[in-house]
């Protein structure tokens, strides 16, 4: 079936002194039928990795296998994959039906089979009433659904999505995320989805691959990655707003930050230089001895974000809007529950 194995995969552009290595020994095992999201900031190598799986980029080192077959030297058309791109790449002079059917016609699939597949995909994506229209008559969300339909009709072993929602507005992105989730439930096809949006990653993924500078920082379910980030990069990237990270020195009962001592509710994993992390929703303003100077308050409706500084480190608290709001410029006292503190090595940035 459509399991994917990525083994020690590397990618280097150029040769000799001008060589630029952009993917550094990536390893990942993706089970048949799994929905995996590759997430990371711009330039981290996530799209390059996806394009290597698709066969659109050559592999410098390592190997990629799809359904047990090593595909390093296999042409993209022979990998039994279908790709949905960021730009819809629809033929403007063709109807929706013809756009979805074009690849099948080129492959000389019988006309009745083409009709069956297109009708099935149109039903899944709610495009039944749009098959006679041209792309210019469609909204952005409808065009993206047509692009997905064109992939579905191929009935591949693997779907590859390269930031397919980035051209849509916020409301359409949310709607299309739901459609993609429904699509995966109905078809159960192995899927790799690339995005720089960690909200998309958290809502879509069964497991996620967090990348940074061409390396894998962590692989796990959204809940695992959120609850136990492996590095300070993951802690600061996953979550909205991200985890608060404070560098300092632990000495058992307190954490020294910029000359101040923050009382610790429980001993740290070890003494010495460290970084302590706390998510905004786990801090509270009901006292506890961590002084924070309030700099800004961001009202979000049912909740507010209180932004300030603990020492010189930026710190954010997520607060229910029914609670009393602190005043900008005042110093408040934070409570940091022991069970929600995360500790990282100050040098390696790895979780302790």
Per-residue pLDDT of 290-336, as tens digits, reads: 999 999 999 999 999 999 999 899 999 999 999 989 999 999 999 99
Angle at 248 between CA 244 and CA 252, to 5 degrees: 105
Query: Hey, what CATH class is 241-345 in?
Result: mainly beta
The pLDDT tens digits for 2-42 are 899 999 999 999 888 888 999 999 999 999 999 999 999 99
- pLDDT for position 1: 66
Does 4-232 carry CATH code 3.40.50.300? yes
Residue ranges covered by each domain of the chain: 4-232, 241-345
Mean pLDDT, range 114-120, rounded to an integer:
93
Q: What is the pLDDT of residue 89?
A: 83
pTM score: 0.90
Tokens 């159960």, located at residue = 188
Range with lowest mean pLDDT among 162-171, 201-210, 331-340: 162-171
Are residues 66 and 129 in contact, defined by beta-carbon separation less than 8 angstroms? no
CB-facing half-sphere around the CA of 311: CA atoms within 13 A: 15
CA 316 to chain centre: 22
What's the CA gap between 191 and 196, in Å, rounded? 17
The sign of the torsion formed by the CA atoms of 58, 62, 67, 71 equals positive
Per DSSP, the residues of 310-326 read ETTEEEEEEEETTSPPP
Q: For 123-146, what is the mean pLDDT? A: 89
Averaged pLDDT of the chain: 92
């Amino acid at each position: 079936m459509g399991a994917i194995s990525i083994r020690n995969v590397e990618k280097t552009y150029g040769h000799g002194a001008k060589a630029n290595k952009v993917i550094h020994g990536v390893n990942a095992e993706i089970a048949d039928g799994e929905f995996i999201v590759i997430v990371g900031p711009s330039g981290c190598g996530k799209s390059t990795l996806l394009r290597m799986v698709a066969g659109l980029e050559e592999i410098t080192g390592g190997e990629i296998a799809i359904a047990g077959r090593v595909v390093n030297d296999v042409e993209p058309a022979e990998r039994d994959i279908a790709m949905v791109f960021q730009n819809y790449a629809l033929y403007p002079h063709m109807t929706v039906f013809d756009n979805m059917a074009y690849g099948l016609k080129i492959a000389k699939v019988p006309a009745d089979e083409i009709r069956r597949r297109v009708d099935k995909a149109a039903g899944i994506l709610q495009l039944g009433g749009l098959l006679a229209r041209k792309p210019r008559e469609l909204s952005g969300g409808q065009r993206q659904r047509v692009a997905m339909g064109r992939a579905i009709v191929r009935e591949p072993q693997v779907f590859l999505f390269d930031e397919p929602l980035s051209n849509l507005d916020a409301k359409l992105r949310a709607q299309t995320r739901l459609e993609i989730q429904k699509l995966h439930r109905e078809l159960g096809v192995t899927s790799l989805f690339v995005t720089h949006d960690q909200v998309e990653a958290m809502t879509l993924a069964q497991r996620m691959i967090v990348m940074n500078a061409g390396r894998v920082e962590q692989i796990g379910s959204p809940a695992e990655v959120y609850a136990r980030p492996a590095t300070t990069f993951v802690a600061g990237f996953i979550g909205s707003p991200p985890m608060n990270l404070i560098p300092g020195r632990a000495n058992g009962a307190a954490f020294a930050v910029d000359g101040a001592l923050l009382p610790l509710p429980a001993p740290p994993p070890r003494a010495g230089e460290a970084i302590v992390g706390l998510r905004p929703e786990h801090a509270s303003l009901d006292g506890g001895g961590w002084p924070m100077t309030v700099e800004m308050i961001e009202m979000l409706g049912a909740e507010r974000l209180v932004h300030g500084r603990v020492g010189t480190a930026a710190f954010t608290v997520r607060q229910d809007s029914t609670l009393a709001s602190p005043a900008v410029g005042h110093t408040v006292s934070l409570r940091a529950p022991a069970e929600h503190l995360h500790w990282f090595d100050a040098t390696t940035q790895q979780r302790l």
